[in-house]
Amino acid sequence: MGTGKTTVGRELARLLDMKLIDIDAGIESEEGLRIPEIFSRFGEERFRDIEAKAIRKYAASDHAIISTGGGAVLRAENIEALRINSIIFCLSASPETVLKRTARNDDRPLLKAADPLQNIFELMQYRRPFYEKAGIMIDTDDKTPLQVAEEIAAIYHADAYC
């Protein structure tokens, strides 16, 4: 959340001449509801079920950048599906950077808290081991989306996937 997944995904797709598949956008399109509405109406667990289904659907896509939500790594089935055909990159940023980047966005259901910075910190502490096991960590603090995309593209080109 707030690490630049979608923006970096767009840049990376352009650099590598690939299509971008944004899982959250796909969910919103297929469900006819925005992510915050799914959370508020059905809860996080139901959202994670929908997300897992979408990831299974798109994970086998060839020549594509797949951008998932930050919580996708919480389910091993998502990581397994993505690893079949992909290199997984996990974008990170400091809690302060995440808060700065998301402060004007009311569509973040997991940030609706009395102390959003503390909530971000706790969420990151909880999720970090999942991210570290899932893929290559890329810090986005003090970098433009293009710089992050170029860093990922360099790793991609050096890997056996290309």
Geometric angle at alpha carbon 160, from 156 and 68, rounded to 5°: 45
pTM score of the predicted model: 0.87
DSSP assignment of 25-58: HHHHHHHTS-HHHHHHHH-HHHHHHHHHHHHHHH
Stretch 8-33: mean pLDDT, rounded?
96
Number of CB atoms found within 10 A of residue 46's CB: 12
**According to CATH, what is the number of the domain 5-154?**
3.40.50.300
pLDDT of residue 110: 59
Q: Convert the pLDDT of each residue in 33-66 to its tens digit.
A: 999 899 999 999 999 999 999 999 999 899 999 9
